[in-house]
Structure 1
Amino acid sequence: PIGGLLVGCDENRQLDAQELHFLNEVLGYLGRRIRDEHLSGDKQNDINAFSDELISEKLDEDAIFERACKTISEVTNADSAIFWQYNKGFGFLFPKFFHFREGNIRHHASDKSMIFPEKDGFLTEMLKQNEVRAVENIIDHSQLSPTSAKTFSELHYRNVLVTPVKMGNTLSGLLIANKTDSDRQFSVWELHKAGEIVDRIRQVVRGVRTVKEANLQLKQLSRIFELGHEIKLDLAQEDILNRIVRSVRKGLGWNDVAILVKDELGASLQVSAKAGFSRPHNTGIDLTNSMALAAFETFLEKCQGLGNGYFYRTPEQVQPGVEAPGKSGMSGEPWKDEDLVIFPLETRGDLYGFLMVADPVNRLRPTQENISPLEYYANQSAVAIANMVLYEQLKASQQRYRSLAETMSLGLITCDLEDKVLYVNPAVRELLGKENRELIGMPLGDLFTPKSAQELQEMRETLLATESDAHTRVENLELEIVSVKADKIPVSTFAFPLFERRERSGYFLIINDLRVIKRLERMKADFNSMIVHDLRSPMNVIQGFIELIRNRVVGEINIEQEELLDIAKENVKKVLTLVDNFLIASKLDVGKFNIDPKLDEINTLIEKQVDNHRVLLKNKQITIEKDLDANLPLLFFDSLRIEQVLNNLFSNALKFTPEKGKVFVSTRLEKRNIEDNERFFARISVRDTGVGIPAHQIASIFEKYEQADENQSFNVRGTGLGLSICKEIVDLHGGEIWVESSQKDGSDFIFTLPIESSIEKIVN
């Protein structure tokens, strides 16, 4: 109140409600006019100047409150003004900034002159009302605690103006102006001016804090990015984590910081880096020893969620009859000694450990501003550990592969996209008789003969083609490499592309020295030729003598003797066929088997083979049905070798067809599209009505020394060479051979021979 109005009536009556309302309206208007009149002078200009100074000089928060003490003291004509800053963590007010009127005695006051609002009913009420108040003879106030009264007495407080300074719902402190003379009181205008100054302070401090928080977050983020640059893969994991711990402690203001990492088995947690945590916690977490991961996860279940992390709240000691505090509203509460903040170190769904912090410098429980930087550091730690794990795995893998490359007997060459040699292992250096310095940077083609270099170029184009990928391979390419002595060394090569960061960067070449293999193959071929010659010569003599006896050149023979001679002749023929097969197989092994194709008619050759097997057909009463395409043109083939194929297929069909069974032989024209070109083939089929071939054996039936189980059913034994030789002969003609079979339905052996469309090729 700034005054009053006394109203009386001549008549003996009371004022009614309408009259009272009118008077209140008039008094309110008069009060505002009087207040505005008193505030419109130089003092108001001082307040505006104060506000402008705060903004223009870009003062920090401390400087603003120091300037506020001086301004309030001057505007309110106070002897002194003190800003009592509030420490929320410990819950006390202490004098931070002072201003004493010139000539006034500076009373004793220090940061040890603390007052505790929660223990003082008067101050608690002042803070709740959150408004500017003038208090006369404050030391004598009945609700003032003895501790506060003693402190105020030492400061010679008498008539005071108390102004709470709050930012939102957060108390920053109290501005207390004092007039030491008991007859000097604060007027309503001075209260209003003080309130206006505090409003200006709030506005400016709010902006300063926003800028400060933004700068702090920027600084923290910059520190995180700097830390990311500092973390190098060649640093030890312990060194990396210690850097992160120091950065969290220094940059975010946490006295206790620890990083717990899972062990290799993922069953327990080890403290890998720590700062602080010098005293034991009553939470059951022991940072001096390893902890079972399951037990730690059980502890986390007791915590409340905090962003992506956890907050362990110290259990409150609740007095009987007093309601326990809830878990909501945690942000900004005073920090308790057993509180903990924990964030998982997790990336790409993999948990590597936990970041644990405690004892913040400001002694306040975390706010969202505190949480975000911690999450950044937790993510940084997780990525660092994940990268370290991958780096260690990569180093171990590199070491294993390098050891393998350096010790293996096969040669290994790595080339770039320009065919320059990047790496050769000892096996290659030994093979070529050259030093490493001679080979690195050398064009790969220079190591091979000109013909092999051309084949290498074709191989390179295959490996580095646009459609190729990491699974592209070139296998068993036989080339000739040139040693330092100009020797041509046969090698088998296996090549595949090299990728770096998903981009082709070159290719690998694995080399196998074939000299020993080639030497063995020649020895084997020579041995086989010798054995074949030594077997064939006496067998030819035996066959000749059998023919002389059968033809009765040396005398008459009876029917029984003739039958025995037929059996002997048939077995001699089998042995000669077996010898021929071994000879062909040995030639195929060393690449000396050739064909001599000429124009011929396939149906005529088939008819000849049918006639050759008449005796066996008659003995087993097997019927042969022919379906030969008379319109087939002349084919370009080696009649001797194709006759071997037909003989083998007919022999097998007759062997495995039961008595009184049937064998079918057919030929027909077949058209195919090969690489967008229309090609024609003669298709020849020999089908029996035997027991068939099991499905699991069809894929290997044309391999050497492979025999189907149907042989056992008919008590027939063979070498397993016949069909493999058939396949080689057909392949040399540019055709295909395969079998279609199902058990109990017989087998159908089919092969094709190409029909040449170019008369020039046929003539050549």
Structure 2
Amino acid sequence: MQIYLLATNFLALAALILGLGSFSGGRRSWRLVPLFLLVISRSLSLIVYLSVSNSSDARLLGGLEVFSAFCLVWTLVDFPAAWPTPWPLLARVGVAGAIILVSLALIPGWPVPSPLHSLVIAVFSTPFILVSAGGVRWPHLAVPFILAFGNFLSLLDLTTPAWLIYLLAYVFFISAIHGESVLTFRQKYAERQQMAEALVQEAIDSSREQQRWLEVSEILNTIPNLNQSMEHIVRSMAQATHVDRSAIFILDAQGAGQARLATLYNPQRPLHLVRQAEVRFDLEHCPPLQRSIETQEPLLLPQQNINGLDSLYGLWREDRAGPTLIQPLVIKGRPVGALMLGNPVTSRPIRPSDMRLCRQLAPQIATMVEHRRRYQELEAEAEAMAETVQKKTQEPDRHLAILETISDGVVVSDASGRVQLVNQAAERILGKLRWELLDQPIGTIYGEIDSGEPIENLAAAFSRRNQPLPTFFESDERAIQGRLIPWRSPQGEWLGIIAIFRDVSREVKADRARNDFIAALSRELRAPLTAIKGYSDLIVHGEIDEYSPEQLQVQRIIHSSADQMAAVLDNAIQISAQNRHKVLPRFEEVQVAAIIEDALRDLASLVRLRELKLTQHIPADLPPVAADPKHLRQILDNLLSNACRFTPPGGKVALQVSVEMERAGNTFHPRLLLTVTDNGVGIPRSEQKRIFDAFYQLKSQRAAEQRGMGMGLAVVKDLVELHNGRVWVESVVGEGSTFYVSLPLTQEY
């Protein structure tokens, strides 16, 4: 007995070692569990036998023998991934029955001998082993038969022959596991052999495709000339891929969503498109082409999915459609066109190797398409330039004749600032002959047409604003009004300055008389207004004898009316000064918060008088702005006083300041945004554009205290535009108005 137990221990351990090599990793790794339990069972049997022998130990030895038999047949059953329908259920029932038999064999006093339990397990495991093996494997089937025979001898009390038969079962068990190890090794070797062959074949195919790519690339590089480059590409690609049609589409650089059919290869009907005859169309009319270009991914449409290609093939009047490949052409993330391969005649599918070839050649073709497009643009520019030169050579005197007949003086300088052109009107207005002015610095002319600021200051503002600048010269004898216009090429290159001016002496004399009258009237009215405002201010603040609330209210009305009248006089003087000529603002860094604080402090009496609620939102980190502080203060005063006067008692007026980013071309610039909102009477849509005109008043005004001279918003508009800004209004009648003022933070662009 001891020799039998030692031998089975060694055989079980050998089976476990073989199983580690066969079942480690993969789907069958679970079979190591019964092998490991078999080794433990045989070790426990030897330990129990070597301990004190009694009846309970004999029952335990019998139970371990039953469990060892269960582990043997459990290891040989390889549960496949998909069994026929009844076998999974039968396997669960069999395992449960075997566990019950093992448990019963361990119960003290159980009348059924343990060899009978092992015999039942061996017999009923045979069909499971046969089904899981997928055929007859004699080493696998021999194990349960030999176990059954050995247990049968044990039932006949032939213990020693039974042990020998058990040892033979273990030998066949090891042989079965070894056979599986050999089979597993052969399968892995075959798989690796197939993988190696596949890699070799893939390398061969890749080498062939690489050679094919090099050949086609070399063919594409042999372009006869740029005019025939597109035809050469589509012909070469069609011949290399053996397709029925090949075409190139080029995106229109000027029109978004526009494309054109550059060329088409059709062996039955060759088609050559010159630049003027290229077929143009909207991408949205061909969804497959649009989708491929937008996603920048190749699009393969098989025979059963050609919806949307009718319009594409219809560009060259093709009444059939077939399997089609659309390969986008992209340069540095920017699509420039698309290559199309199609089989509308033969309906052959597009091969994967052809798709890979198109993907590899796409950058090269995209570069050639871009070169062709730029060549066409240069060709068109050359034709336009030739046409322009021809017109200039045909009519060189026409423009000069026109300049000589106009009544405005015109002086043109070159990029270096030297005068190159002077017309007759300029000679008359300036009182100098043409030869005295030609080739002279433009500064000598500027001194004759402007007396406001030095030319250095005006030139600096000129370079910042890059727009026409007004000039005005006035003396006792004459007045000259003009404009300096920047002369640039279409590409933005500086070419010089154009000065246009006229003699406005007669108009200035008439304006001077009117403005002098307004100024004199303003001065005469300001003195009594100052006295009225001063005394009313003392009364309102309680510094003179006590007054009743009704009397104080009257004094507040007097004080507010005096403020309103002073504002009207300020606007009148401002408009009078601006009518003479546009005075450039004196830019400096201004703290907007401080100016707003002063404006709100002076507005407090009007707010209290009209019983309004004034709110403000000014960020603490508000940056300084380049502006004229006097102009900015007048803009705020006019907007806020208007909002208060047109808002009924109990209403709300809000001032909000923020910095917004505004797009100018391809860049963004920060701008100061002033917003004045009220819930007053509102402005009809039909009058919103006219309210910025001088002396314009709303037709809907009814209250006498709301009426003014219509100059406040006109002054705001003029001052804002002098700062390169914008002013606009949004309003709903009966709900209120919001005025917006947008100013650049700097005056450098």
TM-score normalised by L of structure 2: 0.36
Which structure shows the higher strand fraction? 1
TM-score normalised by L of structure 1: 0.35
Which structure shows the higher helix fraction? 2
